[in-house]
Amino acid sequence: MNSEEVLTKTTEELLEAIGKDITKGRSVVPLSKKALVDIGRSWFQQNYLKISNHVCNNERIRKLYKDKNIRRRTMLIVALGDLLMGIISGVSPITVSALLMKEGLETVCRNQWADILD
């Protein structure tokens, strides 16, 4: 998925994609959509704190969030993907970026960004 396409996916579709990434080449039997979503959700929950700390403390992400440019969402997805490439492995950084965007960076980073969210 590219950065534009990923923005059209539902949270469930993004979690399923993470589940597919994690299980690629590991499962002999095809897994159900629900199983893949559950695997993706579990991975995201286990890695959420590490990911959010890196994202919310990154000055580039913070500046892009404050920017009111019309293409801000796409620019944030790409910047988040770039940042996450150095933090996560085995799953698409763009997919994880989209999940963070769906949750809302104002929610993910509310403690670290209190000064710009008021």
Give me the domain span that covers residue 69.
3-117
The pLDDT, as a whole number, for residue 79 is: 94
Cα separation, 1 vs 29, whole angstroms: 24
The pLDDT, as a whole number, for residue 43 is: 97
pTM over 0.85: yes
Non-local (6+) Cβ contacts of 27 within 8 A are none
The pLDDT, as a whole number, for residue 92 is: 94
The pLDDT, as a whole number, for residue 103 is: 92
Say yes or no to pLDDT of 114 above 80: yes
Instruction: Tally the domains of the chain.
Output: 1
* pLDDT tens readout for residues 37-80: 999 999 999 999 999 999 999 999 999 998 877 778 888 989 99
The pLDDT, as a whole number, for residue 28 is: 75
The pLDDT, as a whole number, for residue 48 is: 96
* pLDDT tens readout for residues 88-112: 999 999 999 999 999 999 999 998 8
